[in-house]
Amino acid sequence: MTVITFAIRAVSLLVFSSITLSTLTTRFLSLVPVAVLSSLCGPLIFKPSGYWSNPINLAEFWASLVTVLVARYGALPAITAGIVVYITGYKLGF
Amino acid sequence: MDTSPDSVKAGIRDIFPMLLGTAPFGLIFGSLVLETGLGTIGGQSFSIFVFGGASQFVAANLYGNGATIVIILIATFFINLRHALYGASLAPKLETQKSRERLLMSFFLTDEAFAVVSRFKLVKSRYFWGAAGAMYCNWQIWTLLGIILGSQFEFNASLNIGFFMVPAFLAIIIPQMNKLILINCGMISLFLSLFMMDFPYQSGFMIAALLGITIALIFDYYISKVTRTSGRR
């Protein structure tokens, strides 16, 4: 497992270090962080139980919304606000 | 942002909020290894030598269910495949040109470290090591605590522990969404992931991300073309 995990990370990091990338490839790669993190978040926000639910009834949705709104004030306030809203919503039965 | 700070301390400071987000995962994994029969040394070794987050959970579960090593390795490969995108995206941004240092850095390239360092166009080595090193130590500590305390308390199964990383990821990507193409890319990837989340070995996340990027680039191309055409009239 160590070999596979390490190899995946190492090969891409080393290969892309030694080649000259086209403008399109560079643009493509610049979008990777936003794309991957968004795709990881999507199901956790809108389908936390694995099934479609009304977002209004989801603590995850409201916590994410608060996080987005507070993000302009910094990462720590945004994360704290998101977790507090989520736990509060959970306690309230959302 | 153009260049990362050139200090270990800044890396630790910037990744600190994410350390809190990964704590529940470390605790759960630590308690999981006892149930699956990996044991204390086996479980902690997983975190020390693999440092793979989600793949550790899946591998531990598969091991506990008697899966063969081939199945475990295949699952690990597909779950971690998104890290290839991380390496590709980060490679042009790393300040260091030393292959050995880059090789070592790749071991510590997790979702959280990538999220923090990828905001910059140029990543200083000290900053990377501060962020990635802090995450690594954090993961070891919480795994160990999970192993020690795992049998002494039960996690509330209805609390969606997986959600704790979402505020951390959102806090990172929202400030980056300052251009239409980034907003489009994020929204499309998120939308597609809702339909692809059940793909085998978590491959849906990567496919959704790749499609999101492709569609956003196509949109951007046509919007630019229309804008240029309108400007000529």
Does A62 score more than 70 pLDDT?
Answer: yes
pTM of the model: 0.75
Q: What is the pLDDT of residue B189?
A: 95
Interface contact flag, B208 A63, Cβ < 8 Å? no
The confidence score (pLDDT) of residue B158 equals 58
Q: Which pLDDT value is given to residue B8?
A: 95
| Rounded to 5°, angle at Cα B66 from B65 and B71 | 100
Instruction: Please indicate whether, in this complex, the C-beta atoms of B73 and A1 are within 8 angstroms of each other.
Output: yes
Short-list A4, A22, A5, CA closest to B92: A22
Min Cα distance A44 → chain B (Å) is: 6
C-alpha B230/C-alpha B144 separation (Å) is 62
What helix, strand, coil percent values describe chain B, rounded to 5? 80, 0, 20
pLDDT single digits (tens) A5-15: 888 888 888 88
- Please state which of the ranges B29-43, B85-99, B179-193 shows the lowest mean pLDDT: B29-43
Cβ–Cβ under 8 Å, residues B127 and B12? no
CA distance B11 to chain A (A): 13
Burial class (CB in 10 A: 0-12, 13-18, 19+), A94: middle
Subunit contact A4:B73, Cβ cutoff 8 A: yes
Distance CA B39, CA B67 (A): 17
Q: Would the pLDDT of B154 be above 60?
A: no
Please state the ipTM of this predicted complex.
Answer: 0.87
Given a contact cutoff of 8 angstroms between Cβ atoms, the answer to whether B62 and B46 are in contact is no
3-state secondary structure of B177: coil
Q: How confident is the model at residue A83 (pLDDT cuts 50, 70, 90)?
A: confident
Q: What is the DSSP letter of B140?
A: H
In angstroms, rounded to a whole number, what is the distance separating the alpha carbons of residues B225 and B229?
Answer: 6
Quickly list DSSP for chain B: --B--S-HHHHHHHHHHHHHHHHHHHHHHHHHHHHTT-HHHHHHHHHHHT--THHHHHHHHHHHTT--HHHHHHHHHHHTTHHHHHHHHHGGGBS---HHHHHHHHHT--HHHHHHHTTSSBB-HHHHHHHHHHHHHHHHHHHHHHHHHGGG----TTS-GGGGHHHHHHHHHGGG--SHHHHHHHHHHHHHHHHHTTSGGGHHHHHHHHHHHHHHHHHHHHHHHHHHHHHH-
Residue A31 has pLDDT above 80, yes or no: yes
Selected for mutation to probe chain A from B189, B194, B198, B199 (highest A CB count within 10 Å) is B189
Place of tokens 């479980």: B43
Residues of B in contact with A86 (CB under 8 A): 163-164, 167
Q: Domain extents for chain A?
A: 1-30, 32-94
A40-49, B49-58, B106-115, range with the lowest pLDDT: B49-58
